[in-house]
Amino acid sequence: MSHQYRPGRPEDIPTLDQQGLRDRYLVEQLLTPGEVRIVSTHFDRVVTVGAVPVDAPLKLETVDELRSDNFLDRREIGFVNTGGTGTIVADGERYELAKTAVLYLGRGTVDVTFESADAADPAKFYGFSAPAHTAYPNTLVTPEEGTIRELGDQVTSNRRTLRQCIHENGVKSCQIVMGVTSLHAGSMWNTMPAHTHDRRTEVYHYFDLDDDQRVVHLMGDPKETRHLMVANGDVVLSPSWSLHSGVGSSSYSFVWAMAGENQSFDDMDSVPITDMR
Ligand SMILES: O=C(O)C(=O)C[C@H](O)C(=O)CO
Ligand SMILES: [Zn+2]
């Protein structure tokens, strides 16, 4: 996929119509059966990857935008499996990923291939990659592992479980901070109270949302928000200045991942909903 995304300026957001916003901040159909799709961005040089092996293994190839012989020559990547069980083979080492398992692959990993255990229920590997200055070890995080934070309240419809996987106190990385948040049944709001974080790009990948449901994802300057109507599998790019929060028409989960200046999860500037416009 050749479209190159750029963060743009917060003051431009109100001048864009819905298609303009979608073209700049939404990635659709990244996870497509039988393909590896790669979308490069100028959001802290983040690259997103979707790999859905069905009948045959797929390979992670480099892309022109990276100007490197192999995808991970100067980068790291975190993968989350949001589909059926599958395997990622990294330089001959086999890592089996059940649904919501996370795999970190460090700089210098050369051969990366993807397989599904069952073509009728293929693995869906979503990847988030950022430049890396050194090589940290390739590490699997099973669905039972990670640091759990229970957030929100049923009364405010934002009860959710956040699982940190690649982070300061977990699997080590150069830049990537990554995990999965799942809404409890009956709760619809993610990341509420909302926030920005000036020092990092953040990308959300929504999954486990029924096809006939949507998430209304809020973005832009907190004082001048706009929204995107997001479907299952969609990816939303948030520049450092953009608020990111959403309300679903049913429960759902999402992978969140960040890259930028620091890795401190709590380095957020909270925005009370009463200050949002
Ligand atoms: O539900 C949440 O709250 C989140 O998942 C928040 C994200 O992890 C985030 O935006 C971290 O900066
Ligand atoms: Zn955030």
User: How far, in Å, is the centroid of ligand 2 from the Cα of 259?
Assistant: 11
User: How far apart, in whole angstroms, are the C-alpha atoms of residue 257 and residue 165?
Assistant: 10
Q: What is the average pLDDT across 78-87?
A: 98
Rounded mean pLDDT of 250-269?
96
Does the structure's ipTM exceed the value 0.95? yes
Shortest-distance atom of ligand 1 to CA 158: 1
Bigger pLDDT: 183 or 2? 183
- Residue 1 confidence (pLDDT) above 70: no
Report the nearest atom of ligand 1 relative to the CA of 245: 10
Domain layout of the chain by residue ranges: 16-275
Query: What's the whole-number average pLDDT of the chain?
Result: 97
Q: Tell me the pLDDT band of 2, cut-offs 50, 70 and 90.
A: low
Instruction: Confirm whether residue 195 is marked as ligand binding.
Output: yes
Per-residue pLDDT for 54 more than 60?
A: yes
> Maximum distance among all alpha carbons in the chain?
53
| Residue 96, annotated as binding a ligand | no
pLDDT score recorded for residue 36: 98
- CB-based contacts of 31, cutoff 8 Å, min separation 6: 37, 50, 51, 52, 82, 124, 126, 233
Percentage of residues in the chain having pLDDT higher than 90 = 99
184 is in an annotated binding site: no
Q: Please report how many Cα atoms fall inside a 13 Å half-sphere around the Cα of residue 53, on the Cβ side.
A: 21
Ligand 1 mean position, distance from CA 213 (Å): 21
**One-letter amino acid of 176:** I
Q: What are phi and psi of 182, to 5 degrees?
A: -120, 130
Q: How far apart are CA 39 and CA 128, in angstroms?
A: 10
Whether domain 16-275 has CATH 2.60.120.10: yes
Residue whose Cα lies nearest atom 4 of ligand 1: it is: 191
For ligand 1, atom 1, the nearest C-alpha belongs to 191
Question: Using a 6 Å CB cutoff, which residues line ligand 1?
Answer: 151, 160, 162, 181, 190-191, 197, 202, 244, 256, 268
Cα–Cα distances (Å) from 215 to 157, 189, 207, 228, 236, in that order, read 14, 9, 10, 8, 11
Reduced DSSP (H G I as helix, E B as strand, rest coil) percent helix, strand, coil of the chain, to 5: 10, 40, 50
- CA–centroid distance, 196 to ligand 2, in Å, is 6
Q: Which of 117, 51, 60 is nearest to 84 (CA)?
A: 117
Q: Any known ligand binding at 202?
A: yes
- In the reported structure, the alpha carbon of residue 245 is separated from the centroid of ligand 1 by a whole-number distance in angstroms of 8
pTM: 0.98
Give residue 136's pLDDT. 98
Residue 4 reports pLDDT greater than 90: no
State both tokens at 274.
Answer: 């009463």
The predicted pLDDT at position 245 comes to: 98
Q: How far is the centre of ligand 1, averaged over its atoms, from the C-alpha of 42 (Å)?
A: 22
